[in-house]
C-alpha cells in the first residue's frame, strides 16, 4: 500500500508545482508587456500604425475585437454547456450553427417577399427577430433529437460520440448543400440598426454594437439561469455527482436533455448572428466549430466566465494580429491564435477558469 502523504510531503509538492508554473507566468507577463508596447508606440510599419499616432484605428480595432468576441461567445456558450459542462462530445455543433443560419435566411426572405437584393430599409425588427427564433428553434429541436437518439445511451464514451457526431455533420453538410446550394448567402440586418457613426474620424457600423448587445444579454441570462435558478443548480450538481442527484429523485436525463436543448438553441442564435455578420456558406460550420473549440480550450471546460474570457482573448488576437503585424507579415496572423493557445495552456493547463475533470 502507498503510505499516506504527510503535511511536509504536500508542502513540498505544492512548492514544486508553484516553481514549475513560475517560468511560464513570467514569460506570459513579458509577452503581454512587449505586445502592449508594440501596439501603443512601435507599430509604425503596420496597416493600423502605432496607437499613439492613430487612436481612431486603434479604437476601431478594439471594438472589432470586442464585437467579434461577443459573436464567438454566443457560438461557444452552447458548446460550453454541452461539451464543457455535460462532458458530451457534439461535433455537429457547427452544423446546427449553419442550419439555423440557412433556415433564418429562408424565413426572412418569405417575410420580406424577396429572395435577392434585400435592402435593410425593407427589413423591420420583426423581420429579423422572427427568423432568428425560427432558425434557433430548428437547431434546438434537431440538437435534442441527436442527443436523445445517438448520444444519450453512450455517455462517457467520448470517441464513439465524436465519430457519430462527425458522421452526422457529414450527412447534414450534404443535405444543406442540396437544399440551400453552394453560394454564400446573407441574413440582412434590420434597417433600424443599419447605420454608421464616427470614432476619431473612422466610420463604424452600429450593427456590430447591436450584435454585442445581444451577446451581453445572452451571457447575463445564461449566468442567471445557471446560478440563480433551481434547474441551474441541479445541472451543476448533476455534472459533479449524478448518483447523488438521482438519489434525490431528480430525473437527471430530463435535466440534461433540457441543457442540450438550450445549448443547441444558442448554437442556432450564433448561426443567425454569424449569417448577419459575415454570411453563411458551405464550410462555415467547420470554421465556427473550430472557433468554439478554441474559446472553450482557452477559457476552460464547463466555465461560463471562462467562455467569456476566452472569447475576449480570442477576439483580441483575431482583430489585432492583422492590424498590428508588420505589413509584409500580416498573412501570418492566423499563427497568433496558436501562440495564444500555447501561452494560455502553458500558464493554465486546464484553461483560464477550468478545473480537472
The pLDDT of residue 264 is 95
Angle at 71 between CA 138 and CA 238, to 5 degrees: 65
Relative to beta strand 202-205, strand 196-199 is antiparallel
Sign of CA pseudo-dihedral 123, 129, 132, 133? negative
pLDDT in tens, 146-186: 999 998 888 778 889 999 999 999 999 999 999 999 999 99
Predicted confidence (pLDDT) at residue 238 exceeds the cutoff of 80: no
Q: Which three cell numbers stand for residue 164?
A: 457519430
Q: How confident is the model at residue 206 (pLDDT cuts 50, 70, 90)?
A: very high
Predicted confidence (pLDDT) at residue 112 exceeds the cutoff of 50: yes
Which residue range(s) make up the domain with 319? 19-40+52-335
Residue pair 307/80 in contact by the 8 Å Cβ criterion:
yes
Q: How confident is the model at residue 357 (pLDDT cuts 50, 70, 90)?
A: low
Is 45 within a domain? no
Task: Of 78, 83, 119, 80, give the one whose Cα is nearest residue 100.
Answer: 78
Q: Which of 45-54, 72-81, 246-255, 340-349 has the lowest mean pLDDT?
A: 246-255
The pLDDT of residue 20 is 47
Mean pLDDT of 16-31: 63
Q: What is the mean pLDDT of the chain?
A: 86
CA distance 180 to 38: 45
Residue 114 — φ and ψ, nearest 5°?
Answer: -140, 150
Predicted confidence (pLDDT) at residue 197 exceeds the cutoff of 50: yes
Mean pLDDT of 220-245: 81
Residue pair 50/43 in contact by the 8 Å Cβ criterion:
yes
Is 79 within a domain? yes
Predicted confidence (pLDDT) at residue 22 exceeds the cutoff of 80: no
Q: Which CATH number does the domain housing residue 76 bear?
A: 1.10.3470
Is 347 within a domain? no
Is 265 within a domain? yes
Residue pair 97/271 in contact by the 8 Å Cβ criterion:
yes
Is 351 within a domain? no
Number of domains observed in the structure of the chain = 1
Q: Which of 91-100, 131-140, 215-224, 230-239 has the lowest mean pLDDT?
A: 230-239
Is 320 within a domain? yes
The distance from CA 244 to its chain's CA centroid, rounded to whole angstroms, is 31
Is 350 within a domain? no
Residue pair 356/350 in contact by the 8 Å Cβ criterion:
yes
Is 72 within a domain? yes
The conformational region for residue 260 under phi > 0 = left, psi -120 to 50 = alpha, else beta, is: alpha
Amino acid at each position: 500500500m502507498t503510505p499516506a502523504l504527510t503535511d511536509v510531503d504536500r508542502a513540498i509538492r505544492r512548492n514544486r508545482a508553484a516553481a514549475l508554473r513560475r517560468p511560464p507566468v513570467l514569460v506570459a507577463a513579458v509577452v503581454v508587456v512587449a505586445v502592449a508596447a508594440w501596439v501603443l508606440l512601435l507599430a509604425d510599419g503596420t496597416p493600423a500604425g502605432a496607437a499613439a499616432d492613430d487612436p481612431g484605428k486603434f479604437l476601431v480595432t478594439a471594438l472589432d475585437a470586442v464585437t467579434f468576441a461577443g459573436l464567438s461567445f454566443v457560438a461557444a456558450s452552447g458548446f460550453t454547456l454541452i461539451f464543457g459542462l455535460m462532458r458530451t462530445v457534439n461535433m455537429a455543433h457547427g452544423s446546427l450553427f449553419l442550419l439555423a443560419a440557412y433556415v433564418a435566411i429562408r424565413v426572412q426572405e418569405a417575410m420580406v417577399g424577396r429572395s435577392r437584393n434585400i435592402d435593410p430599409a425593407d427589413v423591420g425588427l420583426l423581420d429579423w427577430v422572427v427568423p432568428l427564433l425560427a432558425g434557433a428553434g430548428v437547431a434546438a429541436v434537431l440538437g435534442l433529437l441527436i442527443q436523445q437518439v445517438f448520444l444519450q445511451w453512450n455517455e462517457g464514451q467520448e470517441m464513439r460520440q465524436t465519430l457519430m457526431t462527425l458522421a452526422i455533420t457529414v450527412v447534414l453538410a450534404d443535405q444543406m448543400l442540396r437544399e440551400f446550394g453552394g453560394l454564400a448567402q446573407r441574413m440582412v440586418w434590420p434597417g433600424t440598426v443599419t447605420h454608421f457613426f464616427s470614432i476619431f474620424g473612422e466610420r463604424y457600423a452600429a450593427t456590430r454594437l447591436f450584435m454585442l448587445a445581444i451577446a451581453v444579454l445572452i451571457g447575463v441570462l445564461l449566468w442567471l439561469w445557471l446560478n440563480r435558478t433551481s434547474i441551474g443548480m441541479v445541472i451543476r450538481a448533476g455534472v459533479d455527482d449524478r448518483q447523488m442527484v438521482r438519489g434525490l429523485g431528480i430525473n437527471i436525463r430530463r435535466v440534461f436533455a433540457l441543457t442540450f436543448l438550450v445549448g443547441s438553441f444558442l448554437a442556432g442564435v450564433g448561426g443567425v448572428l454569424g449569417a448577419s455578420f459575415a454570411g453563411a456558406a458551405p464550410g462555415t460550420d467547420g470554421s465556427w466549430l473550430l472557433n468554439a473549440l478554441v474559446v472553450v480550450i482557452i477559457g476552460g471546460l464547463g466555465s461560463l466566465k471562462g467562455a467569456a474570457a476566452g472569447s475576449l482573448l480570442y477576439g483580441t488576437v483575431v482583430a489585432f494580429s492583422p492590424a498590428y503585424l508588420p505589413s509584409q507579415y500580416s498573412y501570418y496572423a492566423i499563427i497568433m491564435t496558436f501562440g495564444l493557445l500555447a501561452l494560455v495552456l502553458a500558464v493554465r493547463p486546464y484553461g483560464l477558469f477550468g478545473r480537472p475533470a
